[in-house]
Amino acid sequence: MCGRYALHSRPEVIALAFGLSEAPATLVPRFNIAPAAEVLIVRRETGGAPRPALVRWGLLPRWAKDPKRAAKLNNARGETVAEKPSFRDAYRRRRCLVPANGFYEWKRVESRKQPYYVYPAQGELFAFAGLWERWEGASGPLETCAIVTTQANAPMQAIHDRMPVILAPRDYARWLDCSADAEVTDLLVPCRAEVIRVHAVSTAVNRASNDVRELIEPLEQA
Protein backbone atom coordinates (compact mmCIF):
# COMPACT_ATOMS: atom_id res chain seq x y z
CA MET A 1 0.00 0.00 0.00
CA CYS A 2 1.20 3.50 0.22
CA GLY A 3 1.11 5.40 3.46
CA ARG A 4 4.15 7.69 3.26
CA TYR A 5 6.04 9.32 0.44
CA ALA A 6 8.51 12.02 -0.48
CA LEU A 7 8.31 15.01 -2.82
CA HIS A 8 11.35 17.26 -2.95
CA SER A 9 11.80 18.18 -6.62
CA ARG A 10 11.90 21.86 -7.45
CA PRO A 11 8.59 23.30 -8.69
CA GLU A 12 10.03 23.98 -12.17
CA VAL A 13 11.05 20.33 -12.48
CA ILE A 14 7.57 19.21 -11.49
CA ALA A 15 5.96 21.65 -13.91
CA LEU A 16 8.10 20.36 -16.76
CA ALA A 17 7.50 16.71 -15.94
CA PHE A 18 3.72 17.10 -15.87
CA GLY A 19 3.23 19.76 -18.51
CA LEU A 20 1.68 22.20 -16.06
CA SER A 21 0.25 25.42 -17.38
CA GLU A 22 1.42 27.10 -14.19
CA ALA A 23 4.20 26.15 -11.81
CA PRO A 24 3.01 24.73 -8.50
CA ALA A 25 3.17 27.11 -5.56
CA THR A 26 6.47 27.17 -3.76
CA LEU A 27 6.83 23.79 -2.19
CA VAL A 28 8.84 22.90 0.84
CA PRO A 29 10.88 19.77 0.09
CA ARG A 30 9.14 16.91 1.90
CA PHE A 31 10.71 13.57 2.76
CA ASN A 32 7.97 12.17 4.98
CA ILE A 33 4.51 13.02 3.73
CA ALA A 34 1.84 11.30 5.82
CA PRO A 35 -1.94 11.01 5.44
CA ALA A 36 -3.86 14.18 6.36
CA ALA A 37 -1.08 16.35 4.94
CA GLU A 38 -1.71 18.93 2.24
CA VAL A 39 -0.27 17.36 -0.91
CA LEU A 40 0.34 18.38 -4.48
CA ILE A 41 -1.85 16.84 -7.16
CA VAL A 42 -2.10 17.43 -10.89
CA ARG A 43 -5.57 17.52 -12.42
CA ARG A 44 -7.31 18.66 -15.51
CA GLU A 45 -10.76 20.11 -15.00
CA THR A 46 -13.03 20.71 -18.01
CA GLY A 47 -10.30 20.41 -20.58
CA GLY A 48 -7.29 22.65 -20.88
CA ALA A 49 -3.83 21.97 -19.54
CA PRO A 50 -3.08 20.02 -16.37
CA ARG A 51 -2.99 22.25 -13.31
CA PRO A 52 -1.47 21.81 -9.87
CA ALA A 53 -3.56 21.90 -6.71
CA LEU A 54 -2.99 21.36 -3.01
CA VAL A 55 -5.48 19.01 -1.37
CA ARG A 56 -5.66 16.94 1.78
CA TRP A 57 -4.46 13.35 1.57
CA GLY A 58 -7.36 11.15 2.74
CA LEU A 59 -10.41 11.10 0.52
CA LEU A 60 -13.60 12.31 2.14
CA PRO A 61 -16.68 11.15 0.20
CA ARG A 62 -19.02 13.91 -0.90
CA TRP A 63 -21.85 12.52 1.18
CA ALA A 64 -19.92 12.32 4.45
CA LYS A 65 -21.96 14.11 7.11
CA ASP A 66 -19.31 14.75 9.71
CA PRO A 67 -15.85 15.22 8.20
CA LYS A 68 -14.35 15.05 11.68
CA ARG A 69 -15.58 11.54 12.28
CA ALA A 70 -15.79 10.17 8.73
CA ALA A 71 -13.10 7.76 7.59
CA LYS A 72 -10.41 9.35 5.45
CA LEU A 73 -9.47 7.00 2.65
CA ASN A 74 -5.76 7.21 1.91
CA ASN A 75 -5.83 4.47 -0.70
CA ALA A 76 -8.32 3.05 -3.17
CA ARG A 77 -7.98 -0.47 -4.51
CA GLY A 78 -7.63 -0.36 -8.28
CA GLU A 79 -9.45 -3.66 -8.57
CA THR A 80 -12.68 -2.21 -7.12
CA VAL A 81 -12.38 1.57 -7.49
CA ALA A 82 -14.91 1.73 -10.33
CA GLU A 83 -17.66 0.18 -8.19
CA LYS A 84 -17.11 1.33 -4.63
CA PRO A 85 -19.60 4.04 -3.60
CA SER A 86 -16.84 6.09 -1.97
CA PHE A 87 -14.72 6.16 -5.11
CA ARG A 88 -16.69 5.54 -8.27
CA ASP A 89 -17.77 9.13 -8.98
CA ALA A 90 -14.24 10.38 -8.40
CA TYR A 91 -12.88 7.54 -10.51
CA ARG A 92 -15.10 8.57 -13.40
CA ARG A 93 -14.80 12.35 -13.15
CA ARG A 94 -12.03 13.39 -10.81
CA ARG A 95 -8.85 11.50 -11.55
CA CYS A 96 -5.50 13.09 -10.78
CA LEU A 97 -1.79 12.43 -10.64
CA VAL A 98 0.13 12.52 -7.39
CA PRO A 99 3.76 13.50 -8.03
CA ALA A 100 6.32 11.78 -5.80
CA ASN A 101 10.06 11.23 -5.75
CA GLY A 102 9.52 7.94 -3.97
CA PHE A 103 7.42 6.16 -1.37
CA TYR A 104 7.99 4.09 1.74
CA GLU A 105 6.82 0.57 2.48
CA TRP A 106 7.32 -1.39 5.66
CA LYS A 107 8.27 -5.04 5.65
CA ARG A 108 7.21 -7.09 8.62
CA VAL A 109 9.99 -9.35 9.77
CA GLU A 110 8.76 -11.22 12.83
CA SER A 111 7.82 -8.49 15.29
CA ARG A 112 9.96 -5.82 13.62
CA LYS A 113 9.05 -3.50 10.79
CA GLN A 114 11.77 -2.47 8.36
CA PRO A 115 11.04 0.54 6.16
CA TYR A 116 12.16 0.65 2.53
CA TYR A 117 12.31 3.54 0.11
CA VAL A 118 11.07 2.89 -3.43
CA TYR A 119 12.12 5.33 -6.14
CA PRO A 120 12.40 5.60 -9.93
CA ALA A 121 15.17 3.70 -11.69
CA GLN A 122 15.22 6.48 -14.27
CA GLY A 123 14.24 10.11 -13.92
CA GLU A 124 13.30 11.60 -10.57
CA LEU A 125 9.51 11.58 -10.40
CA PHE A 126 6.78 9.00 -10.09
CA ALA A 127 3.19 9.80 -10.94
CA PHE A 128 0.80 7.88 -8.72
CA ALA A 129 -2.70 7.38 -10.04
CA GLY A 130 -4.99 9.38 -7.77
CA LEU A 131 -8.58 10.45 -7.24
CA TRP A 132 -9.73 13.70 -5.77
CA GLU A 133 -12.98 14.77 -4.19
CA ARG A 134 -14.62 17.98 -3.03
CA TRP A 135 -16.67 18.06 0.14
CA GLU A 136 -18.90 21.10 0.52
CA GLY A 137 -19.08 22.30 4.09
CA ALA A 138 -20.58 25.34 5.78
CA SER A 139 -17.11 26.80 6.11
CA GLY A 140 -16.28 26.25 2.45
CA PRO A 141 -15.14 23.32 0.33
CA LEU A 142 -12.62 20.73 1.48
CA GLU A 143 -10.68 19.00 -1.28
CA THR A 144 -9.14 15.60 -0.63
CA CYS A 145 -7.42 12.81 -2.54
CA ALA A 146 -6.60 9.12 -2.44
CA ILE A 147 -3.82 7.09 -4.07
CA VAL A 148 -4.89 4.10 -6.15
CA THR A 149 -3.16 0.83 -5.30
CA THR A 150 -2.60 -2.45 -7.08
CA GLN A 151 -0.90 -5.80 -6.58
CA ALA A 152 2.84 -5.58 -5.87
CA ASN A 153 5.22 -6.29 -8.77
CA ALA A 154 8.05 -8.78 -8.31
CA PRO A 155 10.60 -6.59 -6.52
CA MET A 156 7.91 -5.11 -4.27
CA GLN A 157 6.47 -8.51 -3.42
CA ALA A 158 9.48 -9.19 -1.22
CA ILE A 159 8.41 -6.28 0.96
CA HIS A 160 4.68 -5.98 0.69
CA ASP A 161 1.74 -7.30 -1.32
CA ARG A 162 0.42 -3.91 -2.48
CA MET A 163 1.91 -0.87 -4.15
CA PRO A 164 0.67 2.39 -5.64
CA VAL A 165 -0.30 2.48 -9.31
CA ILE A 166 2.64 4.20 -11.02
CA LEU A 167 1.76 5.66 -14.40
CA ALA A 168 4.15 6.08 -17.32
CA PRO A 169 4.39 9.57 -18.83
CA ARG A 170 2.68 8.35 -22.01
CA ASP A 171 -0.40 7.50 -19.90
CA TYR A 172 -0.68 10.76 -17.92
CA ALA A 173 -3.02 12.44 -20.40
CA ARG A 174 -5.32 9.47 -20.71
CA TRP A 175 -5.65 9.09 -16.93
CA LEU A 176 -6.31 12.82 -16.50
CA ASP A 177 -8.93 13.12 -19.25
CA CYS A 178 -12.24 12.71 -17.45
CA SER A 179 -14.32 14.49 -20.08
CA ALA A 180 -15.63 11.32 -21.66
CA ASP A 181 -16.33 7.93 -20.15
CA ALA A 182 -13.01 6.62 -21.35
CA GLU A 183 -11.96 3.17 -20.24
CA VAL A 184 -8.86 3.47 -18.06
CA THR A 185 -8.94 0.29 -16.00
CA ASP A 186 -6.11 -1.12 -18.13
CA LEU A 187 -3.83 1.48 -16.50
CA LEU A 188 -4.44 0.14 -13.00
CA VAL A 189 -1.75 -2.52 -13.08
CA PRO A 190 1.61 -2.96 -11.34
CA CYS A 191 4.45 -1.14 -13.07
CA ARG A 192 7.24 -3.14 -14.66
CA ALA A 193 9.97 -4.33 -12.32
CA GLU A 194 12.60 -2.22 -14.10
CA VAL A 195 10.76 0.99 -13.28
CA ILE A 196 11.62 0.94 -9.58
CA ARG A 197 14.61 0.73 -7.27
CA VAL A 198 14.37 -0.19 -3.60
CA HIS A 199 16.61 0.20 -0.59
CA ALA A 200 16.25 -0.18 3.16
CA VAL A 201 16.11 3.04 5.18
CA SER A 202 16.28 4.07 8.82
CA THR A 203 13.30 3.58 11.12
CA ALA A 204 13.59 7.33 11.72
CA VAL A 205 10.95 7.55 8.97
CA ASN A 206 8.45 5.90 11.31
CA ARG A 207 7.95 9.15 13.15
CA ALA A 208 5.95 11.33 10.81
CA SER A 209 7.33 14.54 12.30
CA ASN A 210 10.83 13.56 11.15
CA ASP A 211 11.21 15.17 7.74
CA VAL A 212 14.79 15.38 6.54
CA ARG A 213 16.64 14.28 3.40
CA GLU A 214 18.51 11.57 5.33
CA LEU A 215 15.28 9.55 5.55
CA ILE A 216 15.52 8.49 1.91
CA GLU A 217 19.18 7.52 2.08
CA PRO A 218 20.15 3.85 2.06
CA LEU A 219 20.70 2.17 5.40
CA GLU A 220 24.39 1.38 5.90
CA GLN A 221 24.88 -2.37 5.87
CA ALA A 222 27.10 -3.64 8.68
Partner DNA sequence: CCAGACGTTGTT
Partner DNA sequence: GTCTGG
Q: Which residues contact 112 (CB under 8 A, 6 or more apart)?
A: none
Among 22, 38, 45, 105, the one annotated catalytic: 105
Among 2, 96, 145, 191, the one annotated catalytic: 2
133 assigned to active site: no
Instruction: Select 133 or 143, whichever has its Cβ closest to DNA.
Output: 133
Instruction: Select 69 or 170, whichever has its Cβ closest to DNA.
Output: 69
d(CA 6, CA 102): 5
Contact 199, 219 (CB under 8 A): yes
Helix (H, G, I), strand (E, B) or coil at 49: coil
Helix (H, G, I), strand (E, B) or coil at 180: coil
Instruction: Select 65 or 170, whichever has its Cβ closest to DNA.
Output: 65
220 assigned to active site: no
Footprint of DNA on this chain (CB under 7 A)?
A: 1, 3-4, 34-36, 61-63, 65, 69, 71, 73-77, 80-81, 84-87, 106, 108, 113, 149, 160-162, 203, 206-209
Q: How far is the CB of 86 from DNA (least distance, A)?
A: 4
DSSP assignment, residue 159?
T
Contact 178, 92 (CB under 8 A): yes
Q: How far is the CB of 12 from DNA (least distance, A)?
A: 28
Q: How far is the CB of 122 from DNA (least distance, A)?
A: 26
Q: How far is the CB of 204 from DNA (least distance, A)?
A: 9
Helical residues (DSSP H) of the chain, grouped into ranges:
11-18, 88-93, 154-157, 169-176
Instruction: Select 87 or 117, whichever has its Cβ closest to DNA.
Output: 87
Contact 165, 75 (CB under 8 A): no
Active site residues: 2, 105
